[in-house]
Amino acid sequence: MNRSHRKSAVALGLLLAQAAAMAAIAPDVAQDLMKKSGLWGQLDSLGAQVRGGMANAVPATGDPRAEATKTRMLACADTAYGADAMRATAVDAVAGALQATDVSALTAWYDSPLGRKVAGLEEAASAQVIDPQERLRRGGAALEAASAARKASLQAILAETRSVDIMADTVIEMAIAVRTSMASADPAMTPSALADVKAQLSAKRPQLVDRYSQLALPAYAFAYASLGDDDLQRYADYLGAPAAKAYNDGAVRAVARALTDGSVKLGRCLKDAAAKP
């Protein structure tokens, strides 16, 4: 590369760096938006789901070695998938996805009565303890009784929030976390073997997306059952706006990165714990 080309490359790099700096918002602003949207609380629920799934994946056997492995796994999971750890990663992802010009539109929505109501419904739905089959039954009944316009709004909300992607990523990362934990006590589970397991799980993502696509619409009908048709349409319209799209893209990346980062931290913690006498 000659000197002229090197100068051009450096100039381009500086321009890209400036553009990236302009696109990102301050972490405290991203954190405020996450709290208003409910994502802040949902990450806590998500971490609890991963930790609970790991606990249920290893049944009690009475074998002291197996019990020791489970205890070590859950202790590491509490750190790797704790709310504070997941939120720190998520804040960076959300901040990097937004421009300063997005903030006013997002804040106006989340500070509005309807925005606060929707965020409350979503947060309650993620934390609510109810039998999954009962939730599906009630959601299915609500969906069957819904007007064509309401069904269209639910479809639009489902598409814009990309919740099916989040569901699929959560299941995959939960399975990877369990396999990573088991690998700490299995000499046959080499790094390459674990990489193969991760690749196999990731290859199942299309099937998971198809499965959750069928379940998600009744779940949304259940979550927004108390929202009138007009308000539901207003919410769907808001999600189609550029600022909302940018935020939802950031939220999807936030969840994916938080889960992936948790898996890395889990592996590191288990490795360190196994090395201790």
Residue 3 domain-assigned (yes or no):
no
Selection from 120, 274, 255 nearest residue 183 by Cα: 274
Domain count, the chain: 1
Residue-level pLDDT, tens digit, the chain, 277 residues: 555 555 555 554 444 444 444 457 999 999 999 999 989 988 888 888 888 877 777 666 777 877 777 888 888 888 888 889 899 999 999 999 999 999 999 999 999 999 999 988 887 877 665 677 888 899 999 999 999 999 999 999 999 998 888 888 888 877 877 777 666 666 666 677 777 877 888 888 899 888 888 888 999 999 999 999 999 999 999 999 999 999 999 999 999 899 888 888 888 888 777 666 5
Is residue 11 situated within a structural domain?
no
40 contacts: CB under 8 Å, gap ≥ 6 = 31, 34, 87
Q: Rounded to an integer, what distance in angstroms lies between the CA atom of residue 31 and that of residue 126? A: 19
**In the prediction, which pLDDT does 26 show?**
94
- 69 burial via Cβ count (<10 Å: 0-12, 13-18, 19+): buried
* 216 Cβ neighbours under 8 A, 6+ residues apart: 158, 163, 164, 167
For residue 25, the model assigns a pLDDT of 92
pLDDT in tens, 151-183: 999 999 999 998 888 888 888 877 877 777 666
Q: Is 203 a member of any domain? A: yes
Q: Is residue 14 part of a domain?
A: no
**Could you give the CA distance from residue 130 to residue 56 in angstroms, rounded to a whole number?**
18
Domain that holds residue 98: 24-275
Domain assignment present for residue 108? The answer is: yes
In a domain, 82, yes or no: yes
Which residues make Cβ contacts (< 8 Å) with residue 213, sequence separation at least 6? 164
As a whole number of angstroms, the distance between CA 31 and CA 115 comes to: 17
Radius of gyration of the chain from its Cα atoms, rounded to whole angstroms: 22
Task: With 0.75 as the threshold, say if the pTM is over it.
Answer: yes
User: Which among 98, 81, 220 is positioned nearest to 161, based on CA atoms?
Assistant: 220
Q: How far is CA 40 from CA 169, 172, 175, in A?
A: 18, 21, 23
The per-residue pLDDT for 199 is 85
Question: Token pair 């925005």 is at which residue?
Answer: 115
Q: Is 130 helix (H, G, I), strand (E, B) or coil?
A: coil
Q: Residue 244 domain-assigned?
A: yes
Amino acid making up residue 216: A
Q: What are phi and psi of 239, to 5 degrees?
A: -65, -20
Which amino acid is residue 191, in one-letter code?
A: P
Q: What is the pLDDT of residue 2?
A: 56
What is the pLDDT, as a whole number, of residue 6?
A: 52
What pLDDT sits at residue 187? 63
H or E, element range at 136: helix 132-145
201, 242 contact by CB (below 8 A):
no
Q: Give exposure, 219-228, as e/b (b: 16+ Cβ within 10 Å).
A: bbbbbbbebe
φ, ψ for residue 225, nearest 5 deg: -60, -30
Structure tokens at 262: 């948790």
Residue 17 lies in a domain: no
